[in-house]
Amino acid sequence: MSAQDAANAPPIIISSALAEALTLWLDGLRALDGAADNTTEAYRRDVAGYLGFLTAHFAQATGLAALSRVSISDMRSWMAFERGRGVSARSLARSLSAVKGFTAWAAERQGFDPTAVLSTRSPKFRKKLPRPLTEDAARAMIDTVELQSVKNWVAARDMAVVTLLYGCGLRISEALGLAGADYPLPEVLRITGKGDKERVVPVLPAARQAVAAYVQLCPYPVEPVAPLFRGARGGALNPRLVQKAMQAARMQLGLPATATPHAMRHSFATHLLAAGGDLRAIQELLGHASLSTTQAYTAVDTARLMEIYNAAHPRAR
């Protein structure tokens, strides 16, 4: 949910029976599917908003039995209500997905037909494609991040983190989640990503060297249970500090605002694909649950090829 969506959200009033059912469903997602806290919190907001709408829509305190009365017309009313208060098509599509999951769970427990909800079509929206950096820009970003701090150890730290993002395709939370026990970095890292899914990631010599250079300069000792990457006072490094270093570097390099830490991960995938990498292998390296998520990079690569074609082909000009 965007900040605007959250600001426009109405007060949520639901019955204790629905609140309890929602809690049980979310507990099941955590226990059985390994859903991350951020994911379950987003689902809680989405489904609670929907249940709050039903309570007002039916003009009465709504129990579990009311879920079986929801019609296609009711679903259209809910979606129109959400759009009317400024919720984007992308956010509404996510909310609908959560509502369908909750309804299917409730239908199995209560024995009603959930077809009206499950058959509701998701609003169409244009998917945002990743915006990777060019290979030269990615290398320049790594080198320039190192110049953003007057403290040698901080400069080495930021460079090491960004090198891991690009060299291993890590999310920033995964890089900053490394502990002292992970040092020295092996040739292969086991990373626990979203949904507690574990994957194996090769570590390039350049990434191992960058981390080793940081550790050598870091004023804090490497301790097995402590974070590998430290903040100025020795605590866990705040991701915002890496974002700020990259922001300063991209301004120095004249790169767009899309040159973020996550863009380094996108660049890792796109450059592997351009070099002939297998889509399934890249899916595993990124830790994507679905191949369709990884397939977005084929569209990025194709778009770049078309740009080159249109710029260079004599018949295209």
Active site residues: 171, 194, 262, 265, 288, 297
Token pair belonging to 79: 């979606």
Residue 202 pairs in a beta bridge with: 188
Token pair belonging to 228: 């590998």
- Give which of 123, 19, 112, 108 is closest to 71, Cα–Cα: 112
Q: Is the separation of the CB atoms in 92 and 110 below 8 Å?
A: no
DSSP assignment, residue 189? E
- Rounded distance between C-alpha atoms, residue 151 and residue 179, angstroms: 22
CA dihedral (216, 222, 228, 234) in degrees, to 10, reads -90
* CA torsion through residues 8, 14, 18, 20, sign: positive
Which stretches does DSSP call E strand in 60-132?
A: none
Token pair belonging to 54: 């039903």
H or E, element range at 285: helix 279-286
